[in-house]
Chain A
Amino acid sequence: MVDLVWLIPALPLAGFVLLVLAGRRMGEPFAGWLATAMVAASFAVSVIVFLGLRNEPGHVFTQTLFEWIPAGDFRVDVGIYLDALSMTMVLFVTGVAALIHLYSIGYMHGDPRFPKFFLYLNLFVFSMLVLVLGDNLVLTFLGWEGVGACSYFLISFWFEDEANASAGKKAFITNRVGDWGFMIGIFATFFAFGSVTYARFLPLAPGLAATTATFIVLMLFVGAIGKSAQIPLYIWLPDAMAGPTPVSALIHAATMVTAGVYVLCRVNPLIASAYDWVPSVIAWVGVGTALFAATIATSQYDIKKVLAYSTISQIGYMFLAVGVGAYWAAIFHMVTHAFFKALLFLGAGSFIHGMHGEQDMRWMGALRKLMPVTSVTFIIGWLAIAGVPPFSGFWSKDEILTYALAHNPGLYAVGLVAALLTAYYMSRQVFMVLYGDARWSASSEAEAEAKARVASAGAGEAEVSAADGQPAGTVTEDAASRFPEGFRPHESPWTMTVPLVVLAVLAAIGGVLNLPFPDSLHVLEHWLEPVFVLGQPAELTYSDLSIVGLLVVSTVVALAGIGIAAVVFLKGRIDARRVEPAVLQNAWYVDSSIAAFMGGPGYELADGTATADRLVVDGAVNGIGRATRWTAARARYLQSGFVRAYALMVAVGAVLLGAWVLTKVAAW
């Protein structure tokens, strides 16, 4: 049964090829159904392979498909390395991706490039599966670049809009910075081990010099920072929601951003061989990102941007888990995050769909009754990410925090604050969208109130919006001019609500994968254990009682966050403007600082480099060319075409040669 593993990436690839060849002729909705069927079949095969893998010794299965790059000592095969880690990844990637495909059929209805969208989606899933299943770093890098390219295509899918096109470019270029680190890491691995195949070099990792291991890990970490959107390379992810919402769900939940965490988990023996400050760096970058992104998420108005910063924050938790050696906790959170973040993004997409493309939460509200299915599922996703027991996010986040406390109380404290903010901003989103006044309605009696609210908010936000590059008037116009006459949000079609329901169930019960006790319920941990044998994973020395204590603390923190949000946004006790400072609305001015730097000193630097290039490099190259041409222009006069002139030259040459020989003979 395990032999079928090659089918897992092959099916989405087949879907991609079919859609390239005949997608246009298939049209809507058949192209979408084909793509969905391919990924769903891939998921089905994954389940079969999973059942087979449980019987394999050590839960490892390798398969070499063909030789790819044989070059001297260097050799790269296209092969599959299937162990507990990649199996887990494959299962949730194909499963969640299949649901996202199904959802897209409804969401992309009526789009002129409908087949092309599914073509990219299939290629995206294929690339991710190559990344996860590849048996060597180079093959992983191939998938790594594949998801990068697909994210570029999909983020700028509606490229007619300038902002979308540049968001795609931003994602692509930011990722190149990370890829530089990843490539250096691959080269260093080859120099250190003479191989880039996981099965060959990972067992050798414990014997590696600490300096070499540190270098490799840090370089791979740079790549992971870029792909998984951590400080300082997170800037592409908030813009990545410019693409269609299913794409955001796919990037944020199931594919691209998890790649960095996956790679670090994969090379965990190397992390164990590195200096002991390296895991701390990873942990602090992760928890720092978690807190930083959470602060920004508290003050965003775009429904998808809140979720985008939330993803950055949650991935930060996964890096924290990797840093403290709790690798399975990182994977556990990755899986539950895939469930609830896909659910939240698809739910947000459903709201946007129902609101005819409106993404600004200030214009939503009271959608609870009009979109019941989306609302109920969204609430489940909210409780899961906020960390309310017994939903899945609570268990995975608490597991990470427990290990963080065992490692360093500072990490735990920062992580707890980020958890509080997470509960707060997600509740804020839910209260703004699902409850309160119907601010989209021009006819209701709530209109006057909404107007007053918007106007009062407008005074404080006018300059903010202007600084943000948006027209300052956006928030002060009234609902009547923004929405058409008789506008009413509506529930989405079944292709969109079914995935929501499935994901809601998973988000609710996902915690059973790894409940804290008794020990026999650590299903995921025991399943993943063989992968992390060499990686010196963290051990917990707490008693069950103190673990219960930590669970209570987490619950209290989550409820506190929800409570604060309720006071501000449900009861209106505190003016929302006071808790949403401009600095947070503008994401700490990071983007504008980068833009200012690149427009000023950065531009000068690039300009100087260009000048140096023109004068020195081009000057040398062109100088050689010019010298050659000058010499040739002089030399051409020698070629007169007169035969006798040539003969004279020969004669003179012969005489000179003869004279030279004679002087030699005379000297001798």
Chain B
Amino acid sequence: MGNDLSTAYLSLSAVLFAVGAFGLLVRRNPLVMVMCVELMLNAVNLTFVTFGRMLDDVTGQVIVFFVLVVAAAEVVIGLAIVVAVSRRRPGATADDLRVLRG
């Protein structure tokens, strides 16, 4: 695999990460925010795979699986919270949920 192609993968990853982070900060819908988090995680996964290939080491690919598992678990819990909240309240806008404020 050529160096220029690796640069392209990493650049794509950086762009995906930035898009995810921007979405997380800007959107108010918790579902969309969860999707943005997934986007960021996958951007990171992409870098792991890329570096794994570059260094000829499988560790990168293995870590990706761990990240996927954790992300799946996180999404399940996150969605469960969102569902629970939307049942008790009229909506589930993130900015309305501020009971944990100091």
B101 within 8 A of partner (CB): yes
A548 within 8 A of partner (CB): no
Contact for A644 among B25, B99, B101, B102, CB less than 8 A:
B25
Task: Let me know if B102 and A642 touch, CB within 8 A.
Answer: no
CA distance A642 to B93 in the complex (A): 10
Interface hits, A617-668 → B, CB 8 Å:
635-644, 647-648, 651
Task: Let me know if B101 and A639 touch, CB within 8 A.
Answer: yes
Contact for B102 among A636, A643, A647, A648, CB less than 8 A:
A636
CA distance A635 to B25 in the complex (A): 22
**Contacts A648-B25, A651-B25 known; A641 to B94 CB distance under 8 Å?**
no
CA distance A639 to B98 in the complex (A): 9
CA distance A77 to B33 in the complex (A): 71
Interface residues of A, count at CB 8 A: 13
B17 to chain A, nearest CB (A): 10
Task: Let me know if A647 and B25 touch, CB within 8 A.
Answer: yes
The number of residue pairs between A and B whose CB atoms lie closer than 8 Å in the complex comes to 37
B28 to chain A, nearest CB (A): 8
Which residues of chain A are near B101, meaning CB under 8 Å? Answer: 639-642
B43 within 8 A of partner (CB): no
**Contacts A644-B94, A644-B95 known; A639 to B100 CB distance under 8 Å?**
yes
CA distance A467 to B93 in the complex (A): 86
Q: Which residue of B lies closest to A648 (CB)?
A: B25
A649 to chain B, nearest CB (A): 10
CA distance A637 to B101 in the complex (A): 8
A639, A644, A648, A651: residue with the most chain B Cβ atoms closer than 10 Å:
A644
Which residues of chain A are near B41, meaning CB under 8 Å? Answer: none
Task: Let me know if B100 and A644 touch, CB within 8 A.
Answer: no
Task: Let me know if A637 and B102 touch, CB within 8 A.
Answer: yes
Task: Let me know if B21 and A639 touch, CB within 8 A.
Answer: no
B16 within 8 A of partner (CB): no
Q: Which residue of B lies closest to A638 (CB)?
A: B102
A48 to chain B, nearest CB (A): 77
Which residues of chain A are near B39, meaning CB under 8 Å? Answer: none
B24 within 8 A of partner (CB): yes
Which residues of chain B are near A638, meaning CB under 8 Å? Answer: 102
Which residues of chain B are near A651, meaning CB under 8 Å? Answer: 21, 25
B6 to chain A, nearest CB (A): 18
B97 within 8 A of partner (CB): yes
Interface residues of chain A: helix, strand, loop or mixed (majority): helix
Contact with A along B70-101 (1 / 0, CB 8 A): 00000000000000000000000011011111
Q: Which residue of B lies closest to A639 (CB)?
A: B102
Q: Which residue of A lies closest to B99 (CB)?
A: A641
A582 to chain B, nearest CB (A): 74
**Contacts A636-B102, A637-B102 known; A643 to B33 CB distance under 8 Å?**
yes
CA distance A638 to B101 in the complex (A): 9
Which residues of chain B are near A637, meaning CB under 8 Å? Answer: 102
CA distance A165 to B100 in the complex (A): 58
CA distance A641 to B97 in the complex (A): 7
Which residues of chain B are near A639, meaning CB under 8 Å? Answer: 100-102
Q: Which residue of B lies closest to A637 (CB)?
A: B102
B16 to chain A, nearest CB (A): 15
A629 to chain B, nearest CB (A): 13
CA distance A43 to B98 in the complex (A): 80
CA distance A636 to B100 in the complex (A): 11
A578 to chain B, nearest CB (A): 86
B84 to chain A, nearest CB (A): 16
CA distance A637 to B26 in the complex (A): 21
Q: Which residue of B lies closest to A644 (CB)?
A: B25
Which residues of chain A are near B33, meaning CB under 8 Å? Answer: 643-644
Which residues of chain B are near A636, meaning CB under 8 Å? Answer: 102
Task: Let me know if B94 and A643 touch, CB within 8 A.
Answer: yes
Task: Let me know if B98 and A640 touch, CB within 8 A.
Answer: yes
Which residues of chain B are near A640, meaning CB under 8 Å? Answer: 98, 101-102
Which residues of chain A are near B102, meaning CB under 8 Å? Answer: 635-641
CA distance A82 to B100 in the complex (A): 71
Task: Let me know if B95 and A642 touch, CB within 8 A.
Answer: yes
CA distance A359 to B95 in the complex (A): 87
Task: Let me know if B24 and A647 touch, CB within 8 A.
Answer: yes
Which residues of chain B are near A635, meaning CB under 8 Å? Answer: 102
CA distance A651 to B24 in the complex (A): 10
CA distance A38 to B47 in the complex (A): 91
A631 to chain B, nearest CB (A): 13
Which residues of chain A have a CB within 8 Å of any CB of chain B? 635-644, 647-648, 651
Question: What are 16 A-B pairs at a CB distance below 8 A?
Answer: A636-B102, A638-B102, A639-B100, A639-B101, A641-B98, A643-B33, A643-B94, A644-B24, A644-B33, A644-B94, A644-B95, A647-B24, A647-B25, A648-B25, A651-B21, A651-B25
Which residues of chain B have a CB within 8 Å of any CB of chain A? 21, 24-26, 28, 33, 94-95, 97-102
